[in-house]
Each structure stands twice: as C-alpha cells, then as structure tokens.
Amino acid sequence: MPRGRCHFALVLGLQEQLERDLPEVGALSGRYLPELVAGSMAPDAMRLLGKMGKYRSHFYEEDRRETWGKSVSGMFEAHPNLADYQNLDPRDRVLLMGYIAHLTTDEAFRDEVTIHVHGVEDWRPIIYGLWSYVDELPINYPGVAGVLDRFEGHGEVGFIDREIVSRFVMRARGWAENADPVVLERIFLKMIGRPPSDDFEKRLAENRGRADAFFDEHIKARFVGEAIARGRDEIGKFVSGAYSR
C-alpha cells in the first residue's frame, strides 16, 4: 500500500475537503493538524513498530476479499470504545481521523491502482514502481515536517500507542521534506532496515518502467479523488456516531 509521502499528500488534501464539506470538523482537524498528519502514519506504525501485523492494524488483508471495503467498520467493531466521537478528547478524535484517512487511502489504492496488477505473475516490482509514482503527489502545505515535530507522543488512544506513532513519524519525516524518487526510495529502504544495493537506482528505474503500463494520469486522478472522498465519508460517519453502539 502507499508509503508516507503519498499519505501526507492525501491527508492534507482531505483536510481541505473537510474544511469545505464539514467545516466544524475541518476546523477541529486544522486546530490539531499534527494529530491528523501523524494519524495518517499510525496504522503502519502499529503494524511495524507495534508488531500488530497487517490485519490487526489495518483491519483488512489483500488475500481476504471479504474484508475489502470494511477496514474502518472493522476497526470500530474490534475497538468499540473508540467509536463514540462525542466522548473522546478532541486530540484523540483527530488522531483517529488521520487513522481513518490512512485506511481509506489504502483501500482506494487497491481498488483504483493495484487491482490492475492482480493476476500478474511477477507483480512485486510493479507494485514497488507504483509506490514510487504515487509518492510524487504534491504536498500542498508548507512545513509538514514541522507539523509532525509538534505531535504529542504520550499516552494511548485505545490500541494506538502515541509513543510508537511518534517514533515511526520521526523515521518517516524525510518523506515530508523530499520529492526526489531516489531520495524517497533511500528513506524507505532505511525504514525497513535494508541497505541500498549498488544498483538500487537502476532497479528503481526498472520498477517504475514496469509500472508504466498500470498507471497514468487518469488512474492517478481517480485514486486521489476516491481516497479523499472515502476519507471524508468515513470521517463523517465517525463524527455522526454511525459506528457507535
């Protein structure tokens, strides 16, 4: 699923959409923007540093189609104590909005981008190339790294450990400061503990070349539109109490 820079770009696009469509919610998430942006990294933080694995952190799995489209509802089914928006601290509400944004972005990426790769025998290099391409989405907000620096990494929001999220965010911080595909790839390899090979730039170029057949401006636009729309809709449900028992 997409990496940090893509998530940063889309959660900030979602923030603009919330300000237009749900102005009270957008005002809250704008007030606590570090929570929103860090929250967009929280599922991967809990998966990797929190050792929760894919399903327990993302609430869907690629090889379980019955979980597709249900990541947000799955989270609140697994953790009903987080579904009552009105009883949550405002900062925690916004952190969960960021978490929701990550889940809906991942689902949109699968449904609009990687779905076209399903069934291809040697699929992994193509996916790596697609990750690199969506990392090129513009971050239309100055100083995102500084926003991340203001995230409060203390305490827990249900199963979400803020300290773990903070550590992961500091590792991902470089994605907010760079747009060069080669630099972004180096950051990714460092995060997963894999030193770059001598020919990693050549491999990156090859992966992007293989991804060309599965990605164009039309697919990119559909992905961006779906990610933001799904995020807005799911946050709207969360705020309205639709997931509260």
Q: How many domains does the chain have?
A: 1
Q: Which of 7, 9, 5 is nearest to 140 (CA)?
A: 9
Phi then psi dihedrals of residue 64, to 5 deg: -125, 85
Is residue 245 in some structural domain? no
Is residue 73 in some structural domain? yes
**Phi-psi domain of 53 (left: phi exceeds 0; alpha: psi -120 through 50; beta: other):** left
Query: Coil, strand or helix: which one is 2?
Result: coil
Q: How far is CA 56 from CA 107, 150, 190, in A?
A: 15, 27, 24
Residue 119 has pLDDT above 90, yes or no: no
Is residue 204 in some structural domain? yes
| Tens digit of each residue's pLDDT (9 = 90 or more) over 150-191 | 999 999 999 999 999 999 999 999 999 888 999 999 988 888
Is residue 172 in some structural domain? yes
| Tens digit of each residue's pLDDT (9 = 90 or more) over 40-94 | 999 999 999 999 999 999 999 887 878 888 999 999 999 999 999 999 999 999 9
Q: How far is CA 241 from CA 76, 84, 111, 222, in A?
A: 11, 6, 26, 28
Q: Which domain holds residue 211?
A: 4-240
Is residue 97 in some structural domain? yes
